[in-house]
Amino acid sequence: MSAPGSTGTLRAVRPYDREYFQRWYHDPRTRVHSRVDLERHAAFAVAATEFVLERRVLNVLDVCCGIGQWQPVLARLRPRAKYVGVDASPYVVERYGRARHIRLGRFGELDRLRLEGPFDLIVCSGALYYIPDDEVVPGLAAIGKLLEGLAYLEIFTSADEVEGDTAAILKRPRDWYEARIADAGLVASGLHCYVTRGDAERLGEMETAR
């Protein structure tokens, strides 16, 4: 059953196949992010993580990673960092799994994938607002347990204008996400960044959101 203010169980299953990724990731007429956009997001996430950890990023978990487009960018930024991608698309795993270190898995089953954490940086970019309610809670809880540094969780609410596959977006209010993020033991630190409660306690008061 959907939570109040959410339409999270109403989404039809979508075919995340070759045609889908061609349209939203490759075709310059319809893709959401350019290479420059992606590089800027990745560089910011790495810098923010290293600010929190006070050292270089050693490993990254990319959840709902799609074709793993963060992997080559992160490999250039931090060549020694280990990258692990997780995505629910069999096409992605077959096409990109070996080259980009992507394994099959849904957001809601992260705790059952036996991932070798903890991870310095956990990324979930442009995906949470497509995930059904019953997967969001266990997925965020798993991220809270696997996180050692910073989680970059790109989330847009029902008040935001979103580009891309808008037909599949689950429109949820801000307080819906805030409640579930708090339940997962995560604290917002601004610009889609979240830290564990333990790290939040050692950061300055103005470095985290109330």
CATH of the domain at 67: 3.40.50.150
pTM here?
A: 0.86
Give a yes or no: residue 5 inside a domain. Answer: no
Domain count, the chain: 1
Is the preceding peptide bond at 118 cis, omega within 30 degrees of 0? Answer: yes
Amino acid at 173: P
Give a yes or no: residue 90 inside a domain. Answer: yes
Backbone angles phi, psi at 129, to 5 degrees: -85, 10
Give a yes or no: residue 85 inside a domain. Answer: yes
Amino acid at 71: Q
Q: Write the pLDDT tens digit of every residue in 78-115.
A: 999 999 999 999 999 999 999 999 999 999 999 999 99
Give a yes or no: residue 20 inside a domain. Answer: no
Query: Which position has the token pair 């037909």?
Result: 167
Give a yes or no: residue 99 inside a domain. Answer: yes
Q: Which domain holds residue 50?
A: 32-207
pLDDT-based confidence at residue 209 (cuts at 50, 70, 90): confident
Give a yes or no: residue 17 inside a domain. Answer: no
194 neighbors 188 (Cβ within 8 angstroms): yes
Strand 186-190 relative to strand 193-196: parallel, antiparallel, unpaired? antiparallel
On the question of pLDDT at 208 being above 90, the answer is no
Give a yes or no: residue 185 inside a domain. Answer: yes
Give a yes or no: residue 11 inside a domain. Answer: no
